[in-house]
Structure 1
């Protein structure tokens, strides 16, 4: 497996994996009408925009295996100096195979190199217990709790997890 920087030509593959991942991971969490709706089209619009007009300092990392996108991670600088790990997905059916761990390690190493004074955080739906366990195993600390409001008109409780800035040795 190779982890590389994402490129414009990855938009469709990343969007398809993103939609597939949400449909699998959130089947019992998000409204079925949302997951059965135009999710793929929505994700394609998002990734096309993100890759055509990149946010300054943002980075997409793609795990590729046998010419297939096996996973991806997206990190975006936020106001206040923190970095948001906005997406971390492994292809459904491949979770637990190390893809997520390798992508996370790659993203955190990139953040330490490119933004050495910035902590990395993410937001995860409270009901996504498998993801929460993964983040906790990989050193993330719960730092906040709130409600996530979706444009489609529903709300779900979410947690924030943070990897603090490494202290100098």
Structure 2
């Protein structure tokens, strides 16, 4: 993302987004939180899309916890949640093309690249992104067998 956004309005932008998500949650959205030793170790957020799929909109491990297995466990729980709450629906995500570590993670966990485009961000910039999908039939399988 542009350095001006990262060093500027990023915090306020995310604070506003999460304030809305937590205080006025979408009825069919889900938040999966990993807690370890009494502190939040990571989270995943999913929301249904108008096209009938479920969007894995966020999946984050706490800094310093990447590579510890938290992400894989979060992903398995997120996919299991999607299969239970939105049966028969594909789960998709969008990832910046430059985020090669995340791309490798999703591919290791069974996601299939289903699109490539330029993402238009509401903050006024564009970046190349990829779309990955877990097909509905594979979601329960991926959620039970994925390993970090």
TM-score > 0.5, shorter chain as reference: yes
CA RMSD of aligned residues (A): 1.6
> Pick from 155, 158, 161: which aligns with 2:126?
155
Counterparts in 2 of 1:16-55, with a 5 A limit? 30-55=1-26
TM-score, normalised via structure 1 length: 0.79
> Pick from 41, 48, 51: which aligns with 1:80?
51
> Pick from 13, 17, 34: which aligns with 1:63?
34
Shift of 1:31: 1.4
Counterparts in 2 of 1:70-149, with a 5 A limit? 70-149=41-120
Count of paired positions:
140
Please give the per-residue CA displacement for 1:88-140, whole angstroms capped at 9, x wherever unaligned: 00012111111110000000011111111101000000000000000000000
Please give the per-residue CA displacement for 1:22-53, whole angstroms capped at 9, x wherever unaligned: xxxxxxxx211111113222111111101111
Stretches of 4+ aligned residues off by more than 3 angstroms: none
Segments of 5+ residues of structure 1 without an aligned counterpart are 1-29
Segments of 5+ residues of structure 2 without an aligned counterpart are 141-148
User: 1:41 and 1:69 mapped to 2: Cα distance?
Assistant: 21
Shift of 1:153: 2.0
User: 1:61 and 1:137 mapped to 2: Cα distance?
Assistant: 20
TM-score, normalised via structure 2 length: 0.89
User: 2:123 and 2:17 mapped to 1: Cα distance?
Assistant: 15
The answer to which of 60-69 and 134-143 deviates more is 60-69
